[in-house]
Every structure is written in structure tokens, then in C-alpha cells.
Amino acid sequence: MSDKKNIQVCFTADQFSKYSDGKSTVVVVDVLRATSVISTAFMEGVKAIIPVQNLDEALSFKGKEGYIIAAERNAKPIEGFDYGNSPFHYINADVIGKTLVLTTTNGTKAIYNAKDHKVITASYINIDAVANHLLDEHNNIIILCSGWKGVFNLEDPIFAGSLATLLLSSGKYDSNCDSLFASRQLMNNSNGNIFKFLSESSHRKRLKSLNMENDTRFCLAPPVKSTIIPILEGSKLVIL
């Protein structure tokens, strides 16, 4: 009998109910940019992150001692918020020991939809740490791509392909999931240059039009790596 565990890839936050089983470990991915921001904020000393669904909920934390608030909609920062959804907002910023309240277009929704599972978040910044943790744990895995407003995006499946390849190469996992197969094909097609490969993707064009290409480069090929694995405990992401 095979004791291999199973890996699946879900392409959008909205489709998670089709995959949910209450038992698998869920790896939430929003490479451009929420889960990259989450990795960065923890590296810079944030104590906890509260992902929330709407702007009002985030604003209710404004001015509270020890909290900072950040928001993004349609890739843009929102007036009235301390921070946006760029990793650069958090680097060398006054965030040590603070709790970050974050709401974004897609990533925070994916976290919310998976909240009845064990949820960790992944980006290219902490991919190796996440892979090692999953290999040690050896549970069934759902890689949950955030997508863009309910539709498929390219960057999250490519990341899913990168992570799945690390896991499958161990021989401890199996997959019979067409979206995982497609994710690995796309990752292989990117040929080690995801930034270039994504030049045709809708979200890279969106960030380019907003002069956010530095964010894209940072998230796809981060200059630093982190060993921090953010895990959802109740309503907060904390360091595992």
C-alpha cells in the first residue's frame, strides 16, 4: 500500500469549496503580492497579521496602540491606510512588534475561505521553508491560488508548480490533479525567468501600468529568503 500523500492545486479562492475536506493542509498563495508582503512584514519584525475581508473592518483598527493597517484594492493602495500591498512599504519601516491588519483584493479572501483548515502562507521568499515544513508534516496538501477576482491568474499557478515540484521530487507525494499538472507545465515553460514569462500576464501588465514593476521583480525573484512560515491561528497569522 502506498503511503504517499496527495497534492492538489486550486486555481481561485472562490473554488476552494470544491477542494475543501477539513483535513488537508492549505497553502495560500498570492505571489503578486499579498503573501509576499506577509513574508516580508514578518521578516521585518511584525508580530502578527490579521487578514480581514473589508476596508471598514481594517479601518476599525486605525490608531489603536500596536496596530498598523494596510489595504489594497485593484492593485492600488487606499487613502487613510498606513500601508499598501507593496513589500517595500515594510522594509526598514517602523513595524517591529506591531500587529498588521491587512485587506487585499484576493489573498485575504483565500485565507478566509480556507480558515477551517490548517492554513499557512507561501511566497518565493519562504518557499524552501514551506516545502521543508510540508515534507516533515507529510499531510495531504491543497495549494490554494488566490487568483484575480474569481478568475485564473498566471503567477500563482506558476508558484504552485514550483512548490509542487519540490514536494513531488521527494517521492512522498502523488497527484492526480489536472491543475497541478498544468501548473508544473507553466512553471517549466517559464524556463527560470518568470518575470519575462509573465510579461504577457494580465497582472504584470496591471502592475506595470501602475509603475509597480519593482514589486513584481521583488516578489518573483526575491533578493532575500525567509525561514518564517506564517500560520493562521484563529483570526491571526502568526509565526509557526
Q: Which stretch binds its own copies (CB under 8 A): 5-13, 33-41, 162-170, 217-225?
A: 5-13
Using the rule CB under 8 A, is 196 a contact of its own copies? no
CB under 8 Å to 130, separation ≥6 — which residues?
27, 120, 122, 163, 229
Using the rule CB under 8 A, is 146 a contact of its own copies? no
Grid-cell match 477542494, residue found? 19
Out of 205, 221, 233, 235, the only residue in the binding site for its own copies (CB under 8 A) is 205
Q: What is the pattern of x (binds its own copies, CB under 8 A) and - over residues 171-190?
A: -----xxxx-xx--xx--x-
Grid-cell match 513595524, residue found? 95
Using the rule CB under 8 A, is 140 a contact of its own copies? no
Using the rule CB under 8 A, is 106 a contact of its own copies? no
Asked if residues 76 and 210 have their Cβ atoms less than 8 Å apart, the reply is yes
Q: Which stretch binds its own copies (CB under 8 A): 4-12, 76-84, 117-125, 225-233?
A: 4-12
CB of 47 to its own copies, least distance (A): 35
Q: Which stretch binds its own copies (CB under 8 A): 94-102, 112-120, 145-153, 164-172?
A: 145-153
Residue 103's DSSP bridge partners are 71
Out of 56, 79, 136, 200, the only residue in the binding site for its own copies (CB under 8 A) is 200
Q: Which stretch binds its own copies (CB under 8 A): 10-18, 26-34, 55-63, 121-129?
A: 10-18
CB under 8 Å to 56, separation ≥6 — which residues?
none
- Please tell me whether residue 233 adopts helix, strand or coil conformation: strand
Q: Where are the beta strands (DSSP E) in the chain?
A: 5-10, 25-29, 48-51, 67-73, 76-77, 99-103, 118-122, 141-145, 173-174, 230-233, 236-239
The grid coordinates listed for 225 are 529568503
H helix or E strand, kind and range, residue 207: helix 202-209
Using the rule CB under 8 A, is 203 a contact of its own copies? yes
Residues in 13-42 that interact with its own copies by CB under 8 A: 14-15, 18-19
Q: What are phi and psi of 114, to 5 degrees?
A: -100, 10
Residue 17 or 211 having the CB closest to its own copies: 17
> What is the C-alpha separation between 114 and 209, in angstroms, rounded?
31
Using the rule CB under 8 A, is 193 a contact of its own copies? no
CB of 159 to its own copies, least distance (A): 14
Q: Which residues bind its own copies (CB under 8 A)?
A: 10-12, 14-15, 18-19, 148-154, 157, 176-179, 181-182, 185-186, 189, 200-203, 205
